[in-house]
Amino acid sequence: MNFEEIQKRAKAQWLDLEGRTHIKIGAATCGRAAGALEVLQAFEEGLSRRGIDVPVIQVGCIGLCYAEPLVIISKPNSYRIVYHNITPELVSRLIDGYVEGEDPCLELALGTLEIDERGFPSIPELPRFAYEYRLILRNCGYIDPTNISHYLANGGYLALRKALRMDPNEIIQEVSKSGLRGRGGAGFPTGVKWEQCHKAPGGVKYVICNGDEGDPGAFMDRVILESDPHQVIEGMIIAGYTVGAQKGYIYIRAEYPLALDRVKEALREAERVGILGKNILESDFHFRIGIVQGAGAFVSGEATALVEAVEGKRSEPRVRPPRLSEKGLWGAPTLLNNVKTFSYIPIIINRGSDAFSSIGTEKSKGTAVFTLAGKVNYPGLTEVPMGTTLRTLVYEIAGGMKNGKQFKAVQIGGPSGGCIPESLLDIPIDYDSLQGAGSMMGSGGMIFMDEEDCAVDTARFFLDFTTKESCGKCTMCRLGTLQLLSLLEEICSGKADMEDLLLLRELAEDVKMGSLCGLGRSAPNPVLTTIRYFEEEYQAHIIEKRCPALVCKDLIAFYILPEKCDRACEHCILVCPTEAIKGGKGEIKVIDQGKCSKCGTCLEVCPKEYNAVKKISPIRKLSKDGGEMEGPASV
């Protein structure tokens, strides 16, 4: 069967689905964690009991993770309505109300799903979609990722057919003109990398897709692999044709079981219709893709360490040169790109380099996909044009800070990124602007922090992660990060002095300069940016021995205000795990500071009408006789 016939059948299947009432349920990992499979079962059972023949389809993640489980009910000649936070108990209401009847159940609706003028699915009722530009997320949450017909019917593999009729040099020129830079974090020009691998001598070459994604709080690649794996596969096949490779590998961490299943199914489907394997789309080009499961090491995300892992070795970075494009997997020239980078390739080939380069900034073209995690109202996933400001992301897309708290900082680029403060909220998000602020684009993870987060403790948290994830190959990373962590722990516990702060800054710069790979070179970024933008917090920890954010346990205390304590109440005594609270019925309760573990349970259970328990940060003061005394900063 030729491609035209395959595509014709796919479109017919898609039009048949769109021409009848059907239900789509967001069943990616985030949806499943919120109960999507239970909702799916409730729909199937409810429809069966009523004798209603309506397809129920699992789709991926549309990016609105805070609203999961999401359900989309489409009716011909009517609205496609998106319902949010659906539970099995609400399913009967939706079936009776909108599947069978004409009641749209607006009290459960998030909005309507429409295709905008750019051809992207959007929910016009949500203002955030006006700021987004969904190129590689266009199918996520809209098509069935396990059904290749859905991808084909929405323009899938047209770019591959076009590319197979082009000269490889033409493709490289098109990718270079687009201005696409690697979305794995380094931002290296994609066209340059492809040209280097294309020109490298050798009869055997490889293409590798980096789907490791080890950053805490990052899940962009996972969502794409779970929701629209075929666009990644299409990009890899085009890359293989361009550089002269016949074998590719997708490296996915084992902690992503659903992504692994979805990619395996997509590869089987692609081979079944002749898009993978021998004589792809009736050409003389052969290409196959295998899957390698990662063991979860963060350093495996580094390109050369990933190649070591694919070869079955310990994940340790190689010394460069030679580059991977010259000597990579099993000594052969290798092209390695990120999941998102490969996803952009079909778009560039289909729409042209000019269309892609018209989006973004002068040096950062196209869009960027970010995960929005932490203390924002609407955590999830977004795709915006390069150059969008942080302020737009925080307040227009992520919905501002939770509970009306004050924005403090955002950690961009995972543990290797840097903390950007409120004063820089109006900088554009692109490679150069973030680098100038001491951070980096990274893979796209964003963790938002409010006034209750401690800058010093944040740096300590990320250093603890990178220290444990260091492969230990080079001294500056193995020992340098460990010493940085030790200094941060001393500061957090109030045991450091100002010389330690000076040493912390100097050592961070040394580790950055002396490490072999990107892990060590970027590990000091959280330290350097928090010192740069929040030095007064470091000084408070060191000089005043207090934590302004009331986070560092060694620098906080819990007190019970006598005038507010209800003598008959014993909530705090009953829950204290260390029996640190004294006072019987009819007596004012008192916390023994020597026994207090500072767990905060007493604060949580104290009735709000009393509000008697307070968390404070003591300040060490000099007593009248010159000795040290400890007392509360404020009560």
CA–CA separation, 524 and 513 (whole Å): 10
Give the per-residue pLDDT at 297. 86
Percentage of the chain beyond pLDDT 70 is 97
CA atoms 451, 454, 459, 461: torsion sign: negative
Q: What is the pLDDT of residue 117?
A: 85
Q: What is the predicted pLDDT for the residue at 174?
A: 97
Residue 376 has pLDDT above 70, yes or no: yes
- Two tokens, residue 612: 């008697």
Listed range (116-120, 459-463, 557-561) with the worst mean pLDDT: 116-120
Closest CA to 225 of 181, 182, 256: 256
Provide the residue type at 486 as one letter.
S
Over residues 25-46, the mean pLDDT reads 97
Say which residue the tokens 């794409």 belong to. 224
Using DSSP's 3-state secondary structure scheme, residue 546 falls into coil
User: What pLDDT does 1 receive?
Assistant: 67
pLDDT in tens, 97-108: 999 999 999 999
pLDDT value at position 187?
A: 85
Q: Would you state the pLDDT for residue 483?
A: 96
CB 248 within 8 A of CB 207: yes
Least reliable range by pLDDT among 191-200, 381-390, 615-624: 615-624
- The pLDDT, as a whole number, for residue 627 is 42
What whole-number percentage of the chain has pLDDT above 90?
A: 86
Beta carbons of 162 and 349 less than 8 angstroms apart: yes
Segment 604-630 shows an average pLDDT of 70
Ranking 20-29, 539-548, 560-569 by mean pLDDT, the lowest is 560-569
Report yes or no: 572 and 564 within 8 Å, Cβ to Cβ. no
Q: Is the pLDDT of residue 214 over 90?
A: no
Residues 54-60 have a mean pLDDT of 97
* Choice between 619 and 156, residue whose per-residue pLDDT is larger: 156
Using 50, 70 and 90 to split pLDDT, how confident is the model at 628?
very low
Cα(525)–Cα(224) distance, rounded to whole angstroms? 28
> pLDDT tens for residues 323-334?
999 999 999 999
Inform me whether the pLDDT recorded for 626 exceeds 50.
no
Q: Average pLDDT in the 388-414 region?
A: 94
pLDDT at 478 (0 to 100): 93
Residue 631: what pLDDT?
47
Contact 299, 466 (CB under 8 A): no
Pair 445, 413: CB distance under 8 Å: yes
Please give the pLDDT value at position 619: 60
Is 367 within 8 Å of 360 (Cβ atoms)? Answer: yes
SS3 category, 416: helix
Which helix (H) or strand (E) element contains residue 259?
helix 257-272
pLDDT confidence of residue 624: 40
Neighbours of 562 (CB within 10 A): 11
Q: What is the mean pLDDT of the chain?
A: 93
CA atoms of 159 and 136, how far apart (whole Å): 14
Whether 623 has a pLDDT exceeding 50, the answer reads: no
- On whether the CB atoms of residues 345 and 371 are closer than 8 A, the answer is no
Of 56, 332, 41, 23, the C-alpha closest to 206 is 332
Could you tell me if 548 and 506 are in contact, meaning their C-beta atoms sit under 8 angstroms apart? no
The DSSP letter of residue 587 is: S
Give, in order, the Cα–Cα distances in Å from 596 to each of 370, 545, 576, 581.
41, 18, 9, 8
Instruction: Dihedral sign for Cα 92, 71, 373, 339, please.
Output: positive
